[in-house]
A and B are shown apart, each in its own frame.
Chain A
Amino acid sequence: MSFEKFTILKSGTINVPIENIDTDQIIPARFLKTTSREGFGKNLFYDWRYDSQGKMIRSSELNENKGEKILVAGRNFGCGSSREHAAWAIYDYGFRAVISSFFADIFKNNALNNGLLPVQVSDNFLDRIFKNIGSDIIINLPERSVTIYSTGETEHFQINSYKQNCLINGFDDIEYLISCRHETENFENNRKK
């Protein structure tokens, strides 16, 4: 699917300083029954945002989104189930980037395939973001840098240049793979021999 182009993002953050946040927390399995990609945002982190009676938990920071576009979370974010619904839910809720000191593989791929940028920073830098509550963060994708606006602290992050290019231009993999179909057919024919 095509998605918004990503270049430079300046935004406030929602911070969830918990490690090993799995995709069952991001979007519980019982919300995976719809057959479209839309509308998952309202159930994002549902069991952390609502009590067992379905009442909003006021103290949950996740319920206080005032248009923040960056989610910041503890180490090993997105582990567990491969459900792409997790990336859809985060995007649909309004986030365009997730910062953590470590991402699970499948989540990272799913995020990149949906225009949601996973930014992996050092444990130390993550800690600095958590300590500077309220500061905006600037993510500069062409320069691969992330900056805490209030202090000016900056760190560079890694992303493979193919994926970087896809995000900056709003491209997805499928168009590229379709353009390779002829080579795929040749590969199949050669294997039969």
Chain B
Amino acid sequence: MKRTIFDKIWDAHVIKGITEGPSVLYIDRHYIHEVTSPQAFTGLEKRGLEVFRPNQTFATCDHNVPTINQHLPISDQSSRLPVEKLAENTKKHRITYFPLGDKRNGVVHIIGPELGLTTCGMTIVCGDSHTSTHGAFGNIAFGVGTSEVEMVLATQTLLQTKPRQMLIKVDGELGKGVCAKDIILYIISNLGTSAGTGYFLEFAGSTIASLSMEERMTICNMSIEMGAKGGLIAPDQITFNYLKDRDYSPKGEAWEESVKYWETLKSDVGAIYDAVYQFSAEEINPMITYGTNPGMGISVTGSIADNLKDNPSSMKALEYMGFAPGEKLIGKRIDYVFLGSCTNGRIEDFRAFASIVKGRRKHPGVIAWLVPGSKQVECQLEEEGIGDVLRKAGFEIRQPGCSACLAMNDDKIPSGKYCVSTSNRNFEGRQGPGARTLLAGPIVAAAAAINGVITDPRELSYEF
């Protein structure tokens, strides 16, 4: 029987199946943060249960944290309480916690791979939909609800029905100014935000194989925006190079043995998928979204489809955004730029952004929030001199956190303002009540920050 990589990892983690029901799936790694875990600990305590495997769960605070003055106590009490609760719960249950200010703190989906807590062939869950990010290393990684967080804390297992499988192949060479974010926005704009529902995705093809781990994470991160359970990419030498010598990666003999196993994690030739889609890299342009779901994307130079006027849901979205069918976005004035989040808050995203702004000045009409995804990224920015490049161009670098991706802290986009955002969701009110989000990659975001209007980055000269 030919098996996909998904089948291989799944089979290795099924403890048992229930007739006409789901399977009991073993969970290797569990990440928690302050928003979706407190009620799980309360539930556990109400039942009088202990955490079953405390050394397989790791905690960070990221959603509520301020991105300035992190050395001070969090001033907003409603944000401080859940963070304090996390500290208390992790201490009580002997779970490793990376608190604010710790050199390992950051956005949960950035630090997991960075610390080598995420490796290959694992089952990984977190009470957070963007857990799909960890699929970039060849893992079954998916977001769960708080009841499931409680189940994992209590038993290190979950009841899961095996999803269907979809192969998405991207082949060919990417054009200038086109990055991983453009690939995934392009795929979602073609297939729609519910095309992946009920499926686990595998991304493959020569374009995907040529991407760095940071880029692969951007792609898998947004699998959920297609509705998919998760998305993965088979591990290869690029994956192993990334993981070698990370804090928690296996060392010495254990490393050699692990790599030997990880090398087997690829889909057999002839393995069957329930759905297959194929894209060519050459057809992908720098992308931007114009609506209120991530599937409402177009090439940065393109026009909003004329036929949207026949769909009331689409028209509601356009009204919210202040756009009309048939309009072009290029040249439109913008107010804010946000670089960061678990989608684009990694070192490569900052490198890409800096490559555009180097030697230029931020447009005076634009407020830009540049938020590294972790303490490590923050440090690396300074080590590589990127911090200087950004500051010279008039940008300020903030401290790590989820920030304006979902505006649970003070980083809110005011009502009616336009924000070119490298995050993952452009839902109504996502970046603050009334905020208008235009999703894009770091290159398109940088070009908008310089010109103050939506710009085709290919018209700016730069070296990347």
In the complex, the answer to whether A109 meets B145 with C-beta atoms within 8 Å is yes
Q: Closest CB-CB distance, A109 to chain B, in whole Å?
A: 6
Residue from B39, B128, B197 in contact with A76 in the complex, judged by beta carbons closer than 8 Å: B197
Tell me the residues in window 2-36 of chain B with beta carbons closer than 8 Å to chain A beta carbons: 15-16, 18, 20-22, 24, 26, 35-36
Q: How far is the CA of A114 from the CA of B458 in the complex (A)?
A: 50
For residue B159, which residues in chain A have a CB less than 8 angstroms away from its CB? Answer: 162, 173, 176-177
Q: Closest CB-CB distance, A155 to chain B, in whole Å?
A: 20
Tell me the residues in window 197-250 of chain B with beta carbons closer than 8 Å to chain A beta carbons: 197-198, 224, 227, 229
Chain B 415-445 interface mask (CB, 8 Å, partner A; 1/0):
1000000000101111001100000000000
Tell whether B255 is near chain A: CB-to-CB under 8 Å. Answer: no
Select from chain A the residue with minimum beta-carbon distance to B229: A105
In the complex, the answer to whether B193 meets A160 with C-beta atoms within 8 Å is no
Select from chain A the residue with minimum beta-carbon distance to B125: A82
Tell me the residues in window 140-169 of chain B with beta carbons closer than 8 Å to chain A beta carbons: 143-148, 150-151, 154-159, 161, 163
| Chain B interface residue bracket vs A | 35 or more
In the complex, the answer to whether B36 meets A178 with C-beta atoms within 8 Å is no
Q: How far is the CA of A105 from the CA of B26 in the complex (A)?
A: 20
CB-CB under 8 A for A160 and B150, given A20-B313, A22-B427, A106-B145: no
CB-CB under 8 A for A52 and B434, given A1-B43, A84-B145: yes
Residue from B21, B156, B408 in contact with A184 in the complex, judged by beta carbons closer than 8 Å: B156
Tell whether A66 is near chain B: CB-to-CB under 8 Å. Answer: no
Residue from A29, A37, A103, A162 in contact with B39 in the complex, judged by beta carbons closer than 8 Å: A37
In the complex, the answer to whether B429 meets A28 with C-beta atoms within 8 Å is yes
For residue B155, which residues in chain A have a CB less than 8 angstroms away from its CB? Answer: 174, 177-178, 180-181, 184
In the complex, the answer to whether B147 meets A114 with C-beta atoms within 8 Å is yes
In the complex, the answer to whether A160 meets B161 with C-beta atoms within 8 Å is yes
Tell whether B343 is near chain A: CB-to-CB under 8 Å. Answer: no
In the complex, the answer to whether B36 meets A83 with C-beta atoms within 8 Å is yes
For residue B145, which residues in chain A have a CB less than 8 angstroms away from its CB? Answer: 82-84, 87, 106, 109-110, 113
Q: Which of A35, A80, A82, A176 has the most CB of B within 10 A?
A: A82
Tell whether B38 is near chain A: CB-to-CB under 8 Å. Answer: yes
Tell whether A79 is near chain B: CB-to-CB under 8 Å. Answer: yes
Tell me the residues in window 155-185 of chain A with beta carbons closer than 8 Å to chain B beta carbons: 160-163, 172-174, 176-178, 180-181, 183-184
In the complex, the answer to whether B42 meets A81 with C-beta atoms within 8 Å is no
For residue A133, which residues in chain B have a CB less than 8 angstroms away from its CB? Answer: none
Name the 10 nearest CB pairs between A and B, nearest first.
Answer: A162-B21, A84-B145, A35-B38, A110-B145, A82-B143, A113-B147, A82-B129, A84-B146, A19-B313, A177-B155
22 contacts between A and B (CB under 8 A): A20-B194, A22-B427, A24-B430, A29-B406, A33-B78, A34-B78, A52-B415, A76-B193, A81-B406, A82-B36, A84-B39, A104-B194, A105-B198, A110-B145, A160-B21, A160-B22, A177-B155, A180-B157, A183-B24, A184-B24, A184-B156, A188-B26
